[in-house]
Structures are given as C-alpha cells and as structure tokens.
C-alpha cells in the first residue's frame, strides 16, 4: 500500500467527516456545542461511544498483548460491566437531577469553590495528557506508514492531524461529535471484523474451526486465579476494571458529556446499558483478532516484531492484502480521532464552564471565548505531542500515562465522600488533600512489593488513591 494511496484514503475519509460536521453544525450555538440541546438519539450516543472509548493505542495494543497475557484483559472488561451499572444507576441520575453541563459543578454545590476547581483541574490535566499521548502514538504509526516515505516532517503530520480535528469540531462541538463518532465507530469495528474474516480465510478455516482453534491455542486463557500476587489475578483485574469505569467514565467530563446529551435519564440509562453490552462484544473481537494474528504469523513462519504493538500494523499492511491494509488504516484513524475529537470538545467545555463563568456571559461573547479556548487546547495538544517526540522515550510516555491515571483517584474519593456522607469539609484544604493522595498512592505502590514478598499493585491503584482522598476529606470534615 503506497503512501500516496494511503493519503488518498484518509483524504476521502476526512472529506466525509467535514461534510457531516457541516450538516450537523448549521445554526449551532454554545448550547449545541456543550449539550446538543439534549436532543441526541440514545442509540447514536451508545454506538458512537464505542469509538470514543477505544483509542488508537487500544486498537493496536490489545491484539498485540494477547501474545504475552492471553485473554486476561477480558477480566477487566467484565469489571467494566459492573462499573457501568454503577455509573448508570448512581451517577447519571445525579447529573440529570441537577441538570449539569459540567459534571464538576456538583462539587461546588456539595463542598464549595476550591473543591469544584480542584475536581475540574484534575480532569483537565488528566484528559490533556491522555489525549496528547494517545494522539502521539497514533501519529508515529501514520508517520511510519505515510509521511516518512514522502519526506514529510513529524511536526507537519501532527499539525495536519490536530487541524483536521479542529475543523470538524470547532462549531458544532458535541452535537457534531455524536454523529462523527458514530461514523468512525463503523470503520473501527469494520476494520477488526474484516481482519478476523480475512485471516480466517487465509488459514482455510470456517467459523467453527476459528472458534475451536482459538480455544485450543495457548492464547485463549481468560481467568487467572492461581497467584494472588500477580497483576492479572481475576479479582484484581475485575475490580480494577470496575473502578476504572466509575472514574474514567462516570467522573470524566469527556464520556459523560455525551450521555448528558440524551433527552432524559431514561434514554441516557438505555444508552449506557446497550453501550456496555456492545463494548464487551467489541473487546472480545479485539482479543480474538490478537490470537489470530499470532496463529497466522506462526502458520506462515513470519518473524514476530520486537514490540507486540507492531504486530497488527505489520501483518495488516505487508502480509494480509490491500483490503486489510485499507481497513487497518481507516480503523486506526477512526479510533484515534474518535477519542481525540471528544477529548478536545470536553476540555473546551470544562474550561469554559468551570473557569470562565459562561452562564453570566452573552451569547456573542460565549462564541468568541469558546473558539479561543478550542484553539488554545488544540495548540496545547500539539506542543505536548512534539515534546513526546523530542524525548523519544517509551519510558517517559508510560510515566506520563501513569501520572494521568493517578488524577482520577482524587475524583473518586471526592465523589464517594459527597455521595455517601453528609459531612461538609474545610473547602480550602481539599486541594492539598488531593495533591497528597497520589503521592501516598505512589509510595504504597513502591513499598507493598517489598513488604509482601512480591505482591504487585496494578490498576487497582486508583482505588487506593481514592481511599486516601476519602480519608483525607474525613479528617477535614466539619
């Protein structure tokens, strides 16, 4: 697949996105940008959220990781289901009852000014870092496949990427994103499904043989119960998945902003339940694809790349034919842009609502400020991506993503304290508590393996972090 052909495919794809944006953003005002005037069909929101939940990192990393961790990731996915039940039955009714645009205004009503700004600030930090790193990792794939062979610098690649996202989101915001995410989810799911079908055909299997061979392969183990110290023990993965969902969906303006566009709480809950079911099926499809990639490489005696993340791109673009290559390109583009565009809209929404007091401003001023904030976050994402490329260290990227995940712990502790106690707190002390909790969590993650003979704290660290925040708020209660 030549670089020029790839550019042609992506160009057509973005023409379609911009056309959707033009149609959906006509006569849009700031209410459309932030809430779609609460008129979004629940089924579109549910399907589009699949694309927003699966980033380009997931698109290539989950299949690649099957070689070393089998289907263990599915234990986390089962935890997601439990987490979505909590989000749909506890958090979403609260947000709809209070008629929130930014979910962090709840913290102001419950605790006060500093708690509110602390919660919103942690979200802005986490989502900015997470969105930038995910876009960076995808940009490196596109650079290798398309731009580098044409001699195009990395900075131009990133500028084009962010400029395109800005173009189709700057006016319609969440109203447009609901439709573009649905469009992009179609290509994301199609890419994985078509890859599974084509690899199965290449191996000469029918559907039943596919199921049988994947089940009998060394890659299909789902449940891990033997070693409670290991990171992949079922209970650790399940509860980690549950609390990851509660925090990174239920306490995240990005994904909750989509849910708050539904007409009422009934439709929003219907959206959440159907989304969670479809997400389980899609993740199982990703894991099946991972097993097939390794079985195909083994059958064709193809040397495995040094990094597991490179396996899917390698086979899709060099061994599995043009159709697979085209859909891989569309799939990784769709997964990356579906998560990045909603992140940009939610960052703009949170900053405008939480820090610029939008409710008190006239509509023309809202439009002007919203546009500048949207531009500002686009530039910030560009700068962070270029810094990552300059550092050129996977260890640094992993560290940044880990730091970003720490920021959800204080949000978990604050909301849990607000929902399950009736105490007020000394509002000015909330920020120090929320800064101290991640530091204590880091110390615990470092000390526990030394004190327990090897017990590894993995994704459940967000729960530890939340508990420290909860206890800190209890100490400063009034």
What mean pLDDT is predicted for residues 444-463?
77
User: Residues near 130 by Cβ (< 8 Å), separated by ≥ 6?
Assistant: 343, 401, 404
Residue 180 has pLDDT above 70, yes or no: yes
User: Residues near 436 by Cβ (< 8 Å), separated by ≥ 6?
Assistant: 468, 472
pLDDT in the model for residue 78 = 93
User: What sign results for the dihedral spanned by CA atoms 29, 30, 34, 37?
Assistant: negative
Q: pLDDT by residue (tens digit) across 321-371?
A: 778 888 888 887 777 777 777 788 888 888 888 888 777 788 788 888 888
Distant-in-sequence contacts of 266-273, Cβ < 8 A, 24+ apart:
267/42, 268/42, 268/88, 268/92, 268/96, 269/88, 269/89, 269/92, 270/42, 270/46, 271/42, 271/43, 271/45, 271/46, 271/49, 272/46, 272/84, 272/87, 272/88, 272/92, 273/84, 273/88
Report the C-alpha gap between 447 and 373 in whole angstroms: 41
CATH superfamily, domain at 3-380 = Sodium/glucose cotransporter (1.20.1730.10)
Rg of the chain (C-alpha set): 22
Q: What is the dihedral of CA 42, 47, 52, 55, to 10 degrees?
A: 170
Check residue 99 and report its DSSP letter.
T
Report the C-alpha gap between 384 and 67 in whole angstroms: 31
Residue 428 has pLDDT above 90, yes or no: yes
Report the C-alpha gap between 243 and 465 in whole angstroms: 11
Q: pLDDT by residue (tens digit) across 365-392?
A: 888 888 899 899 999 999 988 888 887 6
pLDDT in the model for residue 147 = 84
Look at residues 91, 125, 96 and name the one whose alpha carbon lies nearest to residue 354: 125
Q: Domain boundaries in the chain?
A: 3-380, 407-478
What phi-psi label fits residue 38: left (phi over 0), alpha (psi between -120 and 50 degrees) or beta? left
- Measured CA distances, 268 to 40, 164, 265, 273, 399 (Å): 10, 30, 5, 9, 35
Report the C-alpha gap between 105 and 281 in whole angstroms: 34
Task: Compare 309 and 265 and report the one with higher pLDDT.
Answer: 265
Residue 263 has a CB neighbour count (10 Å cut-off) of 13
pLDDT in the model for residue 420 = 93
Assign 57 a pLDDT band (cuts: 50, 70, 90).
low
Q: pLDDT by residue (tens digit) across 191-212?
A: 889 999 999 998 999 989 999 9
User: Residues near 160 by Cβ (< 8 Å), separated by ≥ 6?
Assistant: none
The residues facing 52 across adjacent strands are none
Q: What is the pTM of this model?
A: 0.85
pLDDT in the model for residue 120 = 93
H or E element at residue 72:
none
Residue 86 has pLDDT above 90, yes or no: yes
Report the C-alpha gap between 120 and 177 in whole angstroms: 22
Percent of the chain with pLDDT over 70: 94
Report the C-alpha gap between 187 and 91 in whole angstroms: 31
Residue 394 has pLDDT above 60, yes or no: no
pLDDT in the model for residue 164 = 84
User: What sign results for the dihedral spanned by CA atoms 158, 159, 162, 167?
Assistant: negative
C-alpha 448 chain-centroid distance: 29
Contact between 137 and 384 (Cβ < 8 Å): no
Q: What are phi and psi of 71, to 5 degrees?
A: -95, 25
Look at residues 285, 305, 281 and name the one whose alpha carbon lies nearest to residue 294: 305
Burial class (CB in 10 A: 0-12, 13-18, 19+), 440: middle
Write down how long the chain is.
Answer: 478
Residue 31 has pLDDT above 80, yes or no: no
Residue 225 has a CB neighbour count (10 Å cut-off) of 8
pLDDT in the model for residue 56 = 64
Q: Which residues of 85-116 are buried (b: 16+ CB within 10 A; e: fewer)?
A: bbbbeebbebbbeeebbbbbbbbbebbbebbb
């Amino acid at each position: 697949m030549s670089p020029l052909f790839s550019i042609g495919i992506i160009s057509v794809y973005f023409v379609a996105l911009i056309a959707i944006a033009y149609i959906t953003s006509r006569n849009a005002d700031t209410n459309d940008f932030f809430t779609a005037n609460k008129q979004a069909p629940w089924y579109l929101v549910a399907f589009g959220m699949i694309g927003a939940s699966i980033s380009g990192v997931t698109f290539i990393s989950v299949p690649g990781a099957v070689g070393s961790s089998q289907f263990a990731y599915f234990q986390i996915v089962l935890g997601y289901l439990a987490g979505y039940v909590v989000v749909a039955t506890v958090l979403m009714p609260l947000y709809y009852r209070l008629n929130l645009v930014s979910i962090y205004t709840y913290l102001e009503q419950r605790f006060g000014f500093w708690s509110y700004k602390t919660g919103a600030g942690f979200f802005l930090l986490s989502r900015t870092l997470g969105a930038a790193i995910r876009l960076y990792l995808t940009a490196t794939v596109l650079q290798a496949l398309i731009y580098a062979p044409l001699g195009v610098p990395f900075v131009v690649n990133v500028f084009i990427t962010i400029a395109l996202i800005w173009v189709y989101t700057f006016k319609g915001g969440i109203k447009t994103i609901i439709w573009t995410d649905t469009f992009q989810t179609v290509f994301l799911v199609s890419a994985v499904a078509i890859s599974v079908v084509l690899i199965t055909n290449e191996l000469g299997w029918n559907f039943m043989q596919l199921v049988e061979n994947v089940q009998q392969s060394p890659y299909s183990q789902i449940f891990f119960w033997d070693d409670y110290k290991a990171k992949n023990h079922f209970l650790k993965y399940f509860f980690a998945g549950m609390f990851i969902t509660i925090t990174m969906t239920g306490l995240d303006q990005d994904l909750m902003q989509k849910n708050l566009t539904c007409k009422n709480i009934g439709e929003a809950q219907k959206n959440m339940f159907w989304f969670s079911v479809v997400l389980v099926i899609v993740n199982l499809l990703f894991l099946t694809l991972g097993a097939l990639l390794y079985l195909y490489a083994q059958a064709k005696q193809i040397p495995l790349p040094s990094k597991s993340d490179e396996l899917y791109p390698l086979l899709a673009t060099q061994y599995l034919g043009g159709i697979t290559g085209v859909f891989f390109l569309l799939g990784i583009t769709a997964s990356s842009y579906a998560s990045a565009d909603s992140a940009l809209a939610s960052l703009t929404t949170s900053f405008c609502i939480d820090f610029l007091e939008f409710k008190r401003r006239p509509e023309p001023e809202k439009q002007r400020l919203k546009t500048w904030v949207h531009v500002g976050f686009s530039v910030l994402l560009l700068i962070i991506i270029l810094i990552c490329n300059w550092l050129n260290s996977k260890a640094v990227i992993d560290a940044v993503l880990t730091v970003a995940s720490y920021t959800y712990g204080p949000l978990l502790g604050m909301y849990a304290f607000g929902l399950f106690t009736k105490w007020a707190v000394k509002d000015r002390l909330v920020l120090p508590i929320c800064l101290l909790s991640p530091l204590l969590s880091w110390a615990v993650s470092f000390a526990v393996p030394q004190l327990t003979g090897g017990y590894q704290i993995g994704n459940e660290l967000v729960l530890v972090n939340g508990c420290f925040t909860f206890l800190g708020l209890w100490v400063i209660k009034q």
